Amino acid sequence: MRSIQDDLSDEVMCPCSGTTRGNIQKLFEEGLDIDAISRRTGAISGCAGCEWDIAQFLKELAILQQK
Domain boundaries, the chain: 11-66
- On whether the CB atoms of residues 16 and 46 are closer than 8 A, the answer is yes
Q: Give this prediction's pTM.
A: 0.85
Q: Which residues of the chain fall short of a pLDDT of 50?
A: 1
Q: What is the pLDDT of residue 6?
A: 55
A 10 A CB-CB count for 4 gives 14
pLDDT in tens, 29-48: 999 999 999 999 999 998 98
The CATH architecture that domain 11-66 belongs to is: Orthogonal Bundle (1.10)
